[in-house]
A and B are shown apart, each in its own frame.
Chain A
């Protein structure tokens, strides 16, 4: 294999780097040092890491190199530097959830997903920034993560840090959480891939909850194959997650190269409430056309109003969040950011009748989606109505209509938190300001392999992943 510059190596696909490690053309120590040097250089600008685990990471890397020398190889993640969102417990390393309330919490054990990454040979680089408690907004103590494509823009919703770290070449992959889109939205804003698998397939044990019945953990990477490799490392039954699925999981990379022959892809008809940036719409339309040219059969489908899913998501998430924060709401309200405090309080005022009714509406929405999925393999639709928005914005103008930011943002992602279906965000080009655009691909329950297959076919045909941000 050829020698890469440090910049090229930092942005190389995880799968390629893994091969170089296995062939001993690289060491995990060198790779980890490269990432740590880049974090030191760029994190002051981007603010994507809260805690950098320099010593622990270097020790892990050295141990993994010794295993390689002894011909022990743990798999594709062996020696790969990876970041995790700071709402996932890490033994002996503080886990803040970007909150003042948990600012000094040092867990006694790892979250299941962190444990599994370590078991798979990953080097944990550090803990990345997020919205306070992964819900609603940024706490001033931690500040906004800056978008590597334009540092005056945000990284889009709660898993901002893990998405930014991957997009900026400060990790080869990362983990985030998704309650109403918080993996897929930042993936879209940062021009990378982000997956939310079927509800229950990835354990949430040891992850600070936002909305119990909507929370998912998911991987970020720069390519679909890399994302699938990380998904393989973290997925599978875990008795410690009470909502976890007991089904064994299939290899997520198995169908990657099968192409699109035989795939039926549903494209939702435009809804009355639809509001989307014309460049985002055009990018999604172009992606759908490309998938058709590559062999997918495209059919039109009717879905429940996306705004209904959004309302159900907010009613359920706010209620569940308020329950888990009840004690802090009474004892430490001054330690929340005003935005998150407001959301938790709203949840505390929601009558149980409304919460239960929201869950009944949820079941109706699930039934409608199940009917649709009998006729298609995947659904193709936008991730988000607009590209990354300016830091500090509370409103956005979409197609000349001014909307509340959070309301407008959560238009296309919540349906799949409501239904629990797997959904992925893949890069779909750039707007005229150079900001990333994205396509969402959702599949049948427990059929992540088909979601990855369609996403990979699109990625290979479009090649957007090769473009990377210019950092100073």
Chain B
């Protein structure tokens, strides 16, 4: 699969927070952008996994096994 390219800046974080009413005070966007860049850096690797045939199941179907 093609890995997504996330562009995470303090400005984009601030605008996203405003758009979705996440209550992010001025000045906190920059450190959060740094944290997000780290977290999303790991998540990108999940797109290397071939998930063909796998459907999400939020509640584990433990009783089927």
Interface residues of A (CB under 8 A from B): 198-201, 212-213, 242-243, 245-247, 308, 311-312, 314-315, 318, 329-331, 333, 342, 345-346, 348-350, 354, 356-364, 366-367, 370, 420, 445-446
| A residues in contact with B20, CB < 8 Å | 348
How far, in whole Å, are A337 and B29 apart by their CA atoms in the complex?
Answer: 17
B34 to A: closest C-beta gap in Å: 10
**Is A346 a contact of B55 with CB atoms below 8 Å?**
no
Most buried by A among B13, B20, B49: B49
CB pair A311 B60 closer than 8 Å: no
Contact A420 B62 (CB under 8 A): yes
Asked if A349 and B16 sit within 8 Å, CB to CB, the answer is yes
Q: Top 3 nearest A-B pairs by Cβ distance?
A: A359-B56, A363-B54, A360-B51
Is there an interface contact between B49 and A364, defined as CB atoms closer than 8 Å? yes
The answer to whether A318 and B39 have CB atoms under 8 Å apart is yes
A360 touches B45 (CB 8 A): no
Interface flags, B23-65, vs A, CB<8A=1, else 0: 1110000011001100100110111011100111111101101
22 A–B contacts, CB within 8 A, in A order:
A199-B60, A200-B60, A213-B60, A243-B60, A308-B46, A312-B46, A314-B42, A315-B43, A318-B39, A345-B24, A345-B32, A346-B36, A349-B22, A357-B46, A357-B47, A357-B51, A360-B54, A361-B46, A366-B60, A367-B54, A370-B65, A445-B65
In the bound complex, what is the Cα–Cα distance between A354 and B45 (angstroms)? 11
B22 A358 Cβ-Cβ under 8 A:
no
Give the docked Cα–Cα distance between A312 and B51 (Å). 13
Of A199, A212, A342, which is within 8 A of B62 by CB? A199
Closest chain B CB from A133 CB (angstroms): 17
Measured in the bound complex, the distance between the Cα atoms of B63 and A446 in whole Å is: 9
Q: Is the CB of A361 within 8 A of B49?
A: yes
* Nearest-CB residue, chain A, relative to B58: A213
Residues of B contacting A315 in the complex (Cβ-Cβ under 8 angstroms): 43, 46
Complex contact A330–B36 (CB within 8 A): no
Q: Are B59 and A243 in contact (CB under 8 A)?
A: yes
A171 CA / B58 CA spacing, docked (Å): 35
Bound-state Cα–Cα, A420 to B58, Å: 12
Contacts of A356 in B (CB 8 A): 56
Chain A nearest CB from B52 CB (Å) reads 9
Min CB–CB distance A304 → chain B (angstroms) = 9
Mask of B1-33 contacts with A, CB within 8 angstroms, 1/0:
000000000000100100011111100000110
CB distance from B5 to the nearest CB of A (A): 13
Asked if residues A342 and B35 are in contact (CB atoms below 8 Å), the reply is yes
Closest to A201 in B: B62
Knowing A315-B46, A359-B57, say if A446 contacts B62 (CB, 8 Å).
Answer: yes
- Find chain A residues with CB under 8 A from B22 CB: 329-330, 345, 348-349
Complex Cα gap A464–B50 (Å): 43
Q: Which residue of A lies closest to B1 (CB)?
A: A357
- Cβ of A198: which chain B residues have Cβ within 8 Å of it? 62
B62 touching A245, Cβ below 8 Å? yes
Q: Which residues of A contact B50 (CB under 8 A)?
A: 364
A447 to B24, alpha carbons, bound, how many Å? Answer: 46
A residues in contact with B49, CB < 8 Å: 308, 361, 364
**A200/B62 in contact, CB under 8 A:** yes
Q: Complex Cα distance A315/B40, Å?
A: 9
Contact (Cβ within 8 A) B32 A342: yes
